[in-house]
Structure 1
Amino acid sequence: MVGEFRSFIAKGNVIDLAVGIIIGGAFTGIVNSLVNDIVMPVVGVIIGGIDFSNYFIALNDKVTATTLAAAKEQGAVFAYGSFITVIINFMILAWIIFLMVKLVNRIRLAEEKKPAEAAPAPPPADVQLLTEIRDLLKSR
């Protein structure tokens, strides 16, 4: 059982997956910062100074706050501004992943073309022997 576990863990796919998840987690922080600190303020300026992070609809009469954090403390809210921000995060992340996959595919395609230029394999031994016999008979 321990040997099976070792062989499972040692497989390249498991290690690649673990590395991908760790890098993805770190990358999520970068994308969130990009969207929240750079993209959303620019989008807000373009459409008239709107800050999506505090857009919400109160679901009961007790909510009187003007910020989302304070409104959540007062009661239930429908935070559609946060949803818009998450959608933009997803679109940026999907675009970056698309570009990364496209780059990796281009690199793989370039590597696949290199071995095609290798010399052809020698003929099998029996064909080579028959060729030598033919050449000897021609020379007589």
Structure 2
Amino acid sequence: MLDEFKEFIARGNVIDLAVGVIIGGAFGGIVSSLTDDIIMPIVGAIFGGFDFSNYFIPLSSNVTASTLAAAREQGAVLAYGSFITVILNFLILAWIIFLMVKAVNTLRRSIIKKQEEAAPPAPPADVQLLTEIRDLLAKQR
């Protein structure tokens, strides 16, 4: 059983997946910072200076604070501004991944096209058959 596990781990797919998860986690932090520190302030400036991160609905009468962090300390809140920020993070991340996959697919297609252009096309079946007949006749002489 241990040998099977070693074989499973040694496969390229498992290692590639592990690397992808680690890089994806780090990339998620970059996208979160991009959204929180760059995009959301610009959106806030365009739409009148509001900050999505502090948009919430108090679910308790004890909540009187104006910031989300203070409101959470006072009681239950529905933090829809944070949810909007997370949705924007997801959309940005999905768009960046789409562009990366598209670039890789374009590169892959160009490499395949170059390989196909480099290899001469195979002769038609009838030409191959005639060539074999000619070679057989040449051997009989």
Give the TM-score range, shorter chain: 0.7 to 0.9
Structure 1 gaps of 5+ residues are none
**Corresponding residue for residue 132 of structure 1:** 135
More displaced, 34-43 or 126-135? 126-135
1:133, distance to aligned residue in structure 2 (A): 3.5
Question: Residues 1-140 of structure 1: matches in 2 within 5 Å?
Answer: 1-116=1-116, 117-119=118-120, 130-135=133-138
For 1:132, give the aligned amino acid.
Answer: D
For residues 20 and 44 of structure 2, the distance between their equivalents in structure 1, rounded to whole angstroms, comes to 33
For residues 10 and 120 of structure 1, the distance between their equivalents in structure 2, rounded to whole angstroms, comes to 38
For residues 113 and 2 of structure 1, the distance between their equivalents in structure 2, rounded to whole angstroms, comes to 43
Q: TM-score, with normalisation over the residues of structure 1?
A: 0.87
Aligned-pair RMSD on alpha carbons? 2.4
For residues 104 and 4 of structure 1, the distance between their equivalents in structure 2, rounded to whole angstroms, comes to 33
SS at match of 2:62: coil
SS at match of 1:107: helix
For 2:119, give the aligned amino acid.
Answer: A
For 2:43, give the aligned amino acid.
Answer: V
Q: TM-score, with normalisation over the residues of structure 2?
A: 0.86
Identity %: 65
SS at match of 1:63: coil
For residues 16 and 107 of structure 2, the distance between their equivalents in structure 1, rounded to whole angstroms, comes to 18
